[in-house]
Amino acid sequence: MDMITDNYVGFSTSAKGNSSFQAFSPLNNQNIPGDFTRATAEEFETALTLAQKAFPVYSALPVEDRAKFLDAIADEIMNLGDTLLERCVLESGLPLGRITGERGRTCGQLKLFAQVLREGSWVDARIDKAQPDRQPIPKSDIRRMLVPIGPVAVYGASNFPLAFSTAGGDTASALASGCPVIVKSHSSHPGTNALVTTAIITAAKKTGMPDGVFSSLYLDHEHAIKLVEHPAIKAVGFTGSQSIGMTLFNAAVNRPEPIPVYAEMSSINPVVLMENILKSKKDTIATALTGSVNLGVGQFCTNPGLILLEDNETSKNFLSAFAEEFKKSVPATMLNKSIHKACISGVKELFEKDNVSLVATADLSANQEKTEAQPVAFSISADDFMKDKSLSEEVFGPVTLFVLCKGISQIVEVLESLQGQLTATIHAEKEDERNLQPIVNVISQKAGRLIYGGYPTGVEVCHSMVHGGPFPATSNANSTSVGTAAILRFVRPLAYQDFPEAFLPEALKNSNPLGIMRLVDGVLTRDKI
């Protein structure tokens, strides 16, 4: 199929600007033919105006119509076939198997949100019936539910060109909630964006969605910030670096009307290895931990970048086993030149620190011309780690740091010194459990997801998942960007007091035409009133 390299301003393609760029393939270190045109100020404003006009129409559609739209997007993405997979591999440098799996996840979460819409209880409908005879003051009829907030700006992520980008979780959850979406395409994979955008627009037209329900723009830095500042935008979804995330956050809170920014930014995802588990499963953990550090060339936001263990003979034996396994790691191509450069710089800084020791690096050398990353693991004493705050900063890539602690109390102390995290992990045996409670108490305050006996890489898309955490893991610890609860980011509560039945939304009507679970006078029920 022919790739459209223009902006999608609603249902229309447009390329009025003079500024363009080409995609770059990290696989062959070359530009990919085809010019993508950056949006002009006029195209930018038109897309936002269309989104504003689409919002009251789209948000008022029956939930079944929105569900069909989400299903259709998933179907149209699958209809792109190998064309999408091949382009995504070329632009990201990620292997075909990984991209195929990511496509499945992307389509799966779209269909999961369609199921959420059909079930309907996510609107959290609550009804307190009137009590006109109540003394000394009559009680009004009050009904409450969640409603969409308005157009949402979504910034595509570099490390998940499908699942966290054009039709990824932010877009899926915003569209599910009833909010139009404007995507700022990531410059690392514009062709992938173009193909997925075509699928979304095709689905929108087939299911009768309003023009402006979705737009995709190639923006320069100035307009990327202006997108957050525009009064039409009511919320922002972002996955990327802390510096860019905070730039967007600051722009959002300094608007005349501040808006929420759901930015996933930085996490080193501490892993605690207790002594008895290292005695019984030393080799198993060495192999699995090596795989987790290297998964996706270490470019997962849940990469285990910090490993805590007691400094004793058991840990020395484990580190020897880990080193032998880690040496088998294979250097691999990173997503783009800037990410590769930052990884090389972070590793260089660790090598230059006198109190940091090398545990292991891959036996094979990285090919710098292919922007390959060299897997590397370091170690440091807990005392030295806590003296240097820079050691708790993320190095995005296949890199991890072992922190050797004097005992359980110092493991707790190191954990207390950390900022917010997406995840925290514990590996322990039954014999270790008497020492775990202080650790659990700390990580419960530090992370959004706690893992026991597993590894943080790999985020299941399901109803109970939390992919978020205290700052700087995210800019809003009250939310998740993965799982069905992500829909709650793009809604607000609205109460109706003493409203006539005719003007109430279906979710709040006496007859409960949607058949959803509702809290009526404090009791969950599907019954009519």
- The catalytic residue positions are 264, 301
User: CB–CB of 307/407 below 8 Å?
Assistant: no
Asked if 296 and 417 count as a contact pair (C-beta separation under 8 A), the reply is no
> What does R_g of the chain's alpha carbons equal in angstroms?
25
Side-chain half-sphere of 90: how many Cα atoms within 13 Å? Answer: 17
Are β-strands 235-239 and 261-264 bridged in parallel, bridged antiparallel, or unpaired?
parallel
C-alpha to C-alpha distance for 152 and 228, rounded to whole angstroms: 9
Match 């009004």 to its residue by tokens: 140
Burial 5-23 (b: 16+ CB within 10 A, else e): bbbbbbbebbbebeeeebb
Q: Which residues of 27-38 are buried (b: 16+ CB within 10 A; e: fewer)?
A: beeeeeeeebbb
* Tokens coding 194: 């173009």
* Best CA proximity match to 214, nearest among 147, 151, 150, 148: 151
In three-state secondary structure terms, 491 is strand
Could you give the C-alpha distances from 426 to 278, 295, 383, 414, 450, in angstroms and in order? 12, 19, 21, 14, 8
Element (H, E) at 115: helix 96-119
Element (H or E) spanning 405, and its range? strand 399-405
d(CA 101, CA 517): 34
Q: Which residue has the tokens 């919320």?
A: 235
Using CB atoms within 10 Å of the CB of residue 438, give its burial: 0 to 12 exposed, 13 to 18 middle, 19+ buried: middle
Find all residues with CB under 8 Å of 439, minimum gap 6, and list them.
Answer: 272, 408, 411, 412, 415, 426
Nearest to 334 by CA among 82, 102, 87, 24: 24
| Phi, psi dihedrals of residue 423, rounded to the nearest 5° | -140, 160
Q: Which of 389, 392, 428 has its CA nearest to residue 408? A: 428
The pairing of beta strand 332-333 with beta strand 372-373 = antiparallel
Please, which residues have CB within 8 angstroms of residue 313's CB and are 6 or more apart in sequence?
none
Q: What's the residue count for the chain? A: 529
How many CB atoms are located within 10 Å of the residue 503 CB?
A: 8
Among all chains, which residue has been given the structure tokens 């069905």?
484
* Beta-bridge partner residues of 159: none
**Three-class secondary structure of residue 423 per DSSP:** strand
